[in-house]
Amino acid sequence: MTDDQLLRYSRHILLDEVGIEGQERILASHALIIGAGGLGSPAALFLGSAGVGHITLVDNDVVDLTNLQRQIAHTTDRVGQPKVESAARAITAINPEVRVTALQARADAALLDALVPQATVVLDCSDNYATRHAVNAACVRHGKPLVAGAVIRFDGQMTVVDPREASSPCYACVFPPDAAFEEVQCSTMGVLAPLVGVVGAMQAAEALKLLAGAGPSLAGRLLMLDGRSMEWNTMHLQRRPDCPVCGHRT
């Protein structure tokens, strides 16, 4: 670690749970972030500022004026640009040492099978049910830890799926892929802007803990935030032996 890095990351190094060794693990890591919108913006900025060595951003959308109410990686002068390129510029402005790969693409199964094995940790910051299940399935297939978050209206939730732990339930254990589910979008239902910041920042925190080996993760727990009352609730999750995604694990 260089003298500049020792200064830049000094507040992490001062933490007993991180220290120099943990920060070096962060510097050597690769985070794959699916979605560069409301959740992906704060998650990417915090991971970049924390020194994650390589960040890959995947999103097929472009910056729209309606995004700017909550997607803090983007700016008015970048309306119309690909979100991944806009977010990459924001990360680089904070920390030019971070290598950023920007992929303007939809995260389908084929792309995920190519990208997930290269990652140290995966963050699901997408905004639809199908993508969440595709990301979860890819992480289970390739044994990569996943930090999943979601926000709509005044409600937020997040969990960690860690296929490296035999008892860790996956996303499909809690939300079955074949369940009847009415997709809701913030374009029609709305979303309180700071809540994506809260959940996205917590996704970054969980990812950094996984990378640095700092304390237990959220694996096996679902955190739910009611933004109206500002109350958190925790649901303890169990792995389903008959889960169509992770049930084959031993």
Beta bridge partners of 155: 152, 226
Q: Please confirm, yes or no, whether 186 is among the known catalytic residues.
A: yes
Output the pLDDT for position 178: 80
Output the pLDDT for position 215: 85
Taking alpha carbons only, the member of 102, 144, 222 closest to residue 136 is 144
Is position 243 within any domain?
A: no
What CATH number is attached to the domain comprising 77? 3.40.50.720
Is position 10 within any domain?
A: no
Catalytic, out of 170, 173, 186, 243: 186
Is position 6 within any domain?
A: no
Is position 164 within any domain?
A: yes
What span, in angstroms and rounded, lies between the C-alpha atoms of 220 and 74?
A: 33
Structural Rg of the chain based on CA atoms = 17
Longest dimension (CA), the chain: 55
Residue for token digits 């589910």?
Answer: 181
Output the pLDDT for position 247: 86
pLDDT tens digits in sequence order for the chain, 250 residues long: 899 999 999 999 999 999 999 999 999 999 999 999 999 999 999 999 999 999 999 999 999 999 999 999 999 999 999 999 999 999 999 999 999 999 999 999 999 999 999 999 999 999 899 999 999 999 999 999 999 999 999 999 999 999 999 889 999 999 988 876 666 666 678 999 999 999 999 999 999 999 999 989 999 999 999 999 999 999 999 999 999 999 876 5
Q: How many domains does the chain have?
A: 1
Encoded amino acid at 60, one letter: N
What span, in angstroms and rounded, lies between the C-alpha atoms of 162 and 134?
A: 15
| 49 and 95 Cβ atoms separated by less than 8 Å | yes
Strand order in the sheet with 30-34: 99-103, 54-58, 30-34, 121-124, 146-152, 155-161, 221-226, 231-236
Structural domain range at position 124: 15-236
Q: Which two tokens stand for residue 3?
A: 């003298």
What span, in angstroms and rounded, lies between the C-alpha atoms of 114 and 204?
A: 23
Is position 245 within any domain?
A: no
Other CB atoms within 10 Å distance of the CB of residue 172: 22
End-to-end Cα spacing for the chain: 39
Is position 8 within any domain?
A: no
Output the pLDDT for position 188: 74
| 8 and 25 Cβ atoms separated by less than 8 Å | no
Is position 92 within any domain?
A: yes
| 72 and 49 Cβ atoms separated by less than 8 Å | no
Is position 246 within any domain?
A: no
